[in-house]
Structure 1
């Protein structure tokens, strides 16, 4: 009689514990499958995005618009205007050519002003690069503003130290007035003297969604296997 009570209690609790573990396992299976399907959907979206950007990169340039949004990123555009070389801004950069600066110069067109990333200069060429005068054509890619600063480093407008191409902040610091809410990455058209070097835009999209999806589906399968083992032990 003394031993029967605890044994009976364990037998009584076992179905409840099994039911709880099964419910948790099934919930995890459903969650893992949902996450896997979501990653597959993200993969389709990413592939469409890559195809869209590739088409833009190889399309003929269109007239630069006075405004642009995310849907216009990496669109090839052209514009003609006069550079305000006295208002250029140097933004710290690390490129395939080493550390240096992006040269951002306002281009005053017939209808609006837009910041142009004319390209890269190493530190020793910061004061010696080409500064064209008079109307010039510019062809390049639309890029969205990069507000606040770079990784772990904030822009310091008062000290004229810039770590990101923050259009609004640069326009305010350089007293440019109204400017287009984006900047243009100039293409590889050579500048006299070789600097700045344009056309260094890095267009790369990480696409690991398939591996993530397989991971989630794998976890779902492992959870099902664990549930099967649990039920087999219960039957034994």
Structure 2
């Protein structure tokens, strides 16, 4: 196919191809980094879920020291307060809210606990039973949406009082109480239908290798197209 053809450099075509090639390679490399991050995340979650819960105060100290404590089983002994923060969300394709309730503890002050999901059509008591009780769950950092998702994410609260981001500092700021920048996802509670605990997402899609190969494949195809358009029949050929 290349016999009788001569390479002819095309500056304009080459510039546009180089720009597109750079973008495709960047996208492929980004997916490789995402693959490494997702693999580490899955390994971390699987290794932590069966561990015995540690005091929330210990988890905070380790997190503040730079250790990644996400999804670590934790526990507190505290009493629920009345400043409930409903966060808009869904579960199994059903719209509803996640109930965030501040618990007053002796060890670390106020800690927000995500008691779990309540469907839109279900009415439940706003607060769990008052009084001191032990709560166990998974240690979580405040939710911080990142681009491009953050470009389209609503901010603050809806007109009917639902929050859009799981951020205990925002909840506490409105309630005028002190809290820590971490919260707990409560585990499932036997005998309690709603709020439904144990709803932390612990299964993650991992198709980043497929995406990376797609971007790199497009980059290779683009180089092939550039070569085809740059090879012209030699003079004298018909």
TM-score of the pair, normalised by structure 1 = 0.73
Give the Cα–Cα distance (whole angstroms) in 1 for the partners of residues 84 and 220 of structure 2. Answer: 58
Per-residue CA deviations over 1:18-48 (Å, capped at 9, x if unaligned) read 2636854884697355653553343233212
Deviation, structure 1 residue 130: 6.1
1:55 and 2:56 are equivalent in the alignment: no
Query: Which structure features the higher share of helix residues?
Result: 1
Question: Please, which runs of 5 or more residues in structure 2 have no aligned partner?
Answer: 1-5
RMSD (Å) for aligned C-alpha atoms: 3.6
Bigger RCO of structures 1 and 2 (CA < 8 A, at least 6 apart):
2
| Residues 159 and 215 of structure 1, relative CA distance in 2, 3 Å threshold | closer
Give the Cα–Cα distance (whole angstroms) in 2 for the partners of residues 139 and 97 of structure 1. Answer: 26
SS at match of 2:68: helix
Give the Cα–Cα distance (whole angstroms) in 1 for the partners of residues 126 and 151 of structure 2. Answer: 24
Give the Cα–Cα distance (whole angstroms) in 2 for the partners of residues 55 and 158 of structure 1. Answer: 41
Contact 1:78–1:137 (8 Å) recurs in 2: yes
Q: Which residue of 1 aligns with 2:3?
A: none
Question: Please, which runs of 5 or more residues in structure 1 have no aligned partner?
Answer: 1-13
Deviation, structure 1 residue 209: 2.1
Q: Which residue of 2 aligns with 1:9?
A: none
Q: Which residue of 2 aligns with 1:77?
A: 74
Give the Cα–Cα distance (whole angstroms) in 2 for the partners of residues 80 and 19 of structure 1. Answer: 72
Q: Which residue of 2 aligns with 1:184?
A: 184
Larger radius of gyration: 1
Per-residue CA deviations over 1:150-171 (Å, capped at 9, x if unaligned) read 9654333996432332211211
Q: Which residue of 2 aligns with 1:205?
A: 204
Q: Which residue of 1 aligns with 2:91?
A: 95
Aligned length: 219
